Copies of this chain bind each other. A is one copy, B any other.
Amino acid sequence: MDVHGRDLRYFAAVAEELNFTRAAERLFVSQPALSKQIRMLEKQVGADLFHRDRRAVRLTVVGKALLPHARGMLAAWEAAEAAVEEAKAAELHTLVIGMSTSPGRGLLPALRTRLVSRHPHARPVLRQVNWADPSAGLADGSSDVAFVWLPLPDGDRYRYAVVAQEPRLVALPQGHPLAARAAADSEGAVDFTDLLDEPFLALPSEAGPLRDYWLALDARDDRAPRIGGVVGSAEETHEAVANGQGVALLATGNASLVVRDEVIAVPVRGISPSHLAVAARRDDERPLVVAYLAAAAMVAAGTARTEPPP
């Protein structure tokens, strides 16, 4: 049914040498082993491939018919191996960068520049990941590095560099009573205590601690939040806020993704700022990953005061 590539290689060698002993030497096997394998191939094919007259070995008609195909298949396998090697090399130079929403803030070009300056072959690839996965693809291996919001669930499985620390805002429908209050405020802000009874849009439950963080559970003194809905993307969030399903906290740098049409965002007093980090799996020491995290640390040091994560 199937052939072993080896048998074809043996066959081709004997067909070239027309001498089992020499072919065996060329193939680095013993002559009996070669004889046996050729016999097996002949049995499999159902016809002799060589005439073994006492004085000479010659191809049979069937052997002549098979030879070009055998050579073709050997060449095809070499091509396949080459293709595999190329794919492996390409993979080696590819860095998949996961993110929930675009990190913005000029981070991607900055990091990209630093990465390729150290690794000219590097090919960074951006990958959008559903909000249900707070590790942005690190957990299931679909990303090599990722922009994540702290705190990260299973934090000890990852290492990271914080690249941005920003106050959190609240997104409100334009006509919401608190919108007017903020407008009247000297800082244009609202107190988180004023939001305690508002329905909140939450991340999917799989997000774990991160969901709690964006509900600001730590600022609620164990009073359970009202959940107005679950959202999985910036678009959904915009829609839900606009429809009055609830309000949502968001990082300053992400405001532009949600604020438009009927939705505004105002600063919130009384909650901690958000921390955006570039993370990788702790045990992942591949050069590109290491280099990207190093670049992130450099960029963070250059643009913002690095502060300890919460």
Residues of A within 8 A of B (CB): 1-6, 8-9, 45-47, 51, 53, 60-62, 64-66, 69-70, 72-73, 76-77, 79-81, 83-84, 86-88, 90-91, 140-141
Contacts and interface: CB of A to CB of B under 8 A. Distances in A.
Contacts of A64: 87
SS of A interface (majority): helix
A2 B4 contact: yes
B47 A65 contact: no
A61 B91 contact: yes
A51 B96 CA distance: 16
Contacts of A140: 53
Contacts of A47: 84, 87-88, 91
Given A2-B77, A66-B87, A69-B80, 15 more contacts: A2-B4, A2-B6, A4-B4, A5-B5, A47-B84, A47-B87, A47-B88, A47-B91, A51-B141, A62-B84, A65-B84, A65-B86, A66-B80, A72-B76, A73-B77
B66 A84 contact: yes
Nearest to A69: B80
A114 to B, nearest CB: 25
A2 B37 CA distance: 14
